[in-house]
Chain A
Amino acid sequence: MSSRSLARMIRRGAALAVVALLLLVVLFPVLWLVLMSVRTEAESFRMPPQLFFTPTAKNYLDLMQSKFFRAFENSVVTSTATTVLSLLLGVPAAYALGRAQLRPERLLSLWVLATRMAPPIAFGIPFFLIYIRLDLIDTRLGLVLIYLSFNLSLVIWMMRAFFEGLPASLEEAAYIDGAGVVGAFVRVTLPLSAPGLATTAIFCFLLSWNDFFYSLILTRSEAVTAPVAIVNFMDYERWEYGKITAAASLIMLPVVAFSLAVRKYLIRGLTAGAVKG
């Protein structure tokens, strides 16, 4: 091995070591939270902290027996339902905008941005007042509907970009074979845009899953979602650290897994409306 390539290897190794160390520092709070979730409470309070300890599943078992289980279920159901509904409504609309020479570029961009940028309380107040009248407070349906306010325009924006990337000639071939607009869309365009659909679906799911504010003001007990249910473990006199950290670890699990899967599209989704994908 020549000394030059050896020097290069050392330089690479050093760069990697620095980056890995930095990452460890940045992710330390996350790791600590997860570690706390498998410690007993007494162990969590012990300073200096013990790096080597016998992990316990007690916090998680306690959690299963509490109301948190129901809240977790609410989170799964509302996030899934709003994702499906947003795709059903938004994907055909995105297709129409992308293909039919309808280009209300600025209007759409402004609409997407407005719903993306507005502080949640701007939608929270009117929905709250309307839900009182319609008896939709503390229902899963109520949450699903308000999640549409940010998901639907996001779906339209993201899917339109995907559709524009597909050549129209494939559909034209289908038309020649006698397919109608709907037929060509369902049988030709949709299968080809599966990666885009998956990415967009994950985005909708994550945005709804991470919601805290809407669930806080629009639910009480029946439809409360997991992020808000954790707050119930924060008693004034005593925090239930074991349950809090176990619940927090549980709700961040799907998020971390999913986001790493769509990390290439994260910026496109988060800057929807302003920056073209």
Chain B
Amino acid sequence: MWCFLAPALLVLFLVTILPFVFLVATSFTPYDLTKPDSFRFAGSLNYVELVREDRFWNSVWVQARLSFWTVSLQLLIGLGLARLLHSRIRAVEWVRAGFIIPMVLPPVVVALMWRILFTPDISVLNWLLGLAGLPQPAWLTHPTLALWAIIIADVWEWFPFVLLMLLAAFQMMPEEPLEAAAIDGASRWQVFRHVELPLLKPVLVVAGLFRLIDSVKAFPLIFIMTAGGPGVATEATNYYAYLQGFSYTFIGFSSAITVVMLAATFVLSLALIRMAGRTADVE
């Protein structure tokens, strides 16, 4: 059996563990791509600099707002739609499949599509806003609307994930409490609020944690829609790390930012494993 396992383990080691060690090592060097001899140990230099940098803390704040709004809105929309689409009508089941499309599209396509929708002159969205008598802003160059443009695109892209997880949870819901509530004459809202919602809660938490961890990866949206701008208004941490490493060649510094992001991801993943384990117990 070991000859079945060994090749995969060896390759996994080479493509995951080894790069990780290399990344952490690089984060302790002032390595600059334009200075080949700068790959030397420099202690926690990068980390000290990082903590002192305003631009880093700005990126954390951008990321925090992006994550908060995308995850909350995705949970809300996912929950509402799941309730609506949870139906045994055959035709509805078919239409339902269409809702997963945003999630599986190549991220670059999602980014391009929304960039076009948020660009004045060619934006059918702004035209519709104009019809409704609303202002037609230049979204992507506006200091606060730019982040909202990215939030809207991200919510659109990933609400189907929450939707799919909740639809599965709805299907596995035990019948008895629902029937009992119906016999007691509970209204639809009461059933949802006091019977269904508590049963869905563990799944909501897991879906939310998944989205929270993945919300760090809105890279293609930021790269294509705003490139971090205007100014640093949409420069989330992930994008900031990319800029430092690949636009400014400060690979060592960029690695330190990445290690900080990885640490945050790891903590959240541990929480996720805990919660997911508990969900399995409930089921």
A178 proximal to B (CB < 8 A)? no
Contact call B108/A227, Cβ cutoff below 8 A: yes
Return chain B residues, CB-CB under 8 Å to A252. 105-106, 109
Contact call B210/A212, Cβ cutoff below 8 A: no
Taking CB as reference atom, which chain A residue is nearest B251?
A125
A40 proximal to B (CB < 8 A)? no
Complex-state Cα separation, A164 to B28, whole angstroms: 44
Return chain A residues, CB-CB under 8 Å to B180. none
Return chain A residues, CB-CB under 8 Å to B246. 217
Contact call A99/B258, Cβ cutoff below 8 A: no
Complex-state Cα separation, A36 to B124, whole angstroms: 11
Return chain B residues, CB-CB under 8 Å to A266. 100, 103-104, 164
Complex-state Cα separation, A113 to B275, whole angstroms: 14
Shortest distance from the beta carbon of A37 to any chain B beta carbon, whole Å: 11
Interface 0/1 of A178-212, CB less than 8 Å to B: 00010001000000000000000000001001101
B178 proximal to A (CB < 8 A)? no
Contact call B1/A96, Cβ cutoff below 8 A: yes
Taking CB as reference atom, which chain A residue is nearest B274?
A274
A152 proximal to B (CB < 8 A)? yes
Taking CB as reference atom, which chain B residue is nearest A35?
B124
Complex-state Cα separation, A122 to B77, whole angstroms: 31
Complex-state Cα separation, A185 to B1, whole angstroms: 11
Interface residues of A in 220-235 (CB under 8 A from B): 227-228, 230-231, 234
Taking CB as reference atom, which chain A residue is nearest B273?
A274
A270 proximal to B (CB < 8 A)? yes
Contact call A259/B100, Cβ cutoff below 8 A: yes
A260 proximal to B (CB < 8 A)? yes
B170 proximal to A (CB < 8 A)? no
Interface residues of B in 79-117 (CB under 8 A from A): 81, 84-85, 87, 89, 91-92, 95-109, 112-114, 116-117
Shortest distance from the beta carbon of A147 to any chain B beta carbon, whole Å: 9
Interface of A is mostly: helix
A213 proximal to B (CB < 8 A)? yes
Taking CB as reference atom, which chain B residue is nearest A13?
B91
B219 proximal to A (CB < 8 A)? yes
B208 proximal to A (CB < 8 A)? no
Taking CB as reference atom, which chain A residue is nearest B165?
A267
A118 proximal to B (CB < 8 A)? yes
The one of A30, A90, A119, A148 in contact with B262, judged by C-beta atoms closer than 8 angstroms, is A119
Given the known interface contacts A206-B104, A255-B106, A256-B104, the answer about A122 and B116 at a Cβ–Cβ threshold of 8 Å is no
A-B contact pairs, 23 of them (CB 8 A): A16-B89, A27-B98, A29-B156, A99-B1, A102-B1, A119-B219, A121-B242, A122-B262, A123-B19, A125-B23, A149-B16, A153-B12, A185-B4, A212-B219, A212-B220, A213-B219, A231-B108, A252-B109, A259-B100, A259-B101, A271-B276, A274-B272, A275-B280
Rank and list the top 8 A-B pairs by shortest CB-CB distance, nearest first: A93-B8, A126-B19, A259-B104, A96-B4, A92-B4, A126-B22, A227-B108, A274-B276
Q: Which A positions have Cβ atoms within 8 angstroms of B?
A: 12, 15-16, 18-20, 22-23, 26-27, 29-30, 32-33, 36, 44-45, 47-49, 89-90, 92-93, 95-97, 99-100, 102, 109-111, 113-115, 117-123, 125-130, 145-146, 148-149, 152-153, 156, 181, 185, 206, 209-210, 212-213, 216-217, 227-228, 230-231, 234, 241, 244-245, 248, 251-252, 255-256, 259-260, 263, 266-267, 270-271, 274-276
Q: Which B positions have Cβ atoms within 8 angstroms of A?
A: 1-2, 4-5, 7-9, 11-12, 15-16, 18-20, 22-23, 26, 81, 84-85, 87, 89, 91-92, 95-109, 112-114, 116-117, 121-122, 124, 127, 156, 161, 164-165, 168, 206, 210, 213-214, 216-217, 219-220, 223-224, 238, 241-242, 245-246, 251, 254-255, 258, 261-262, 265-266, 268-269, 272-273, 276, 279-280
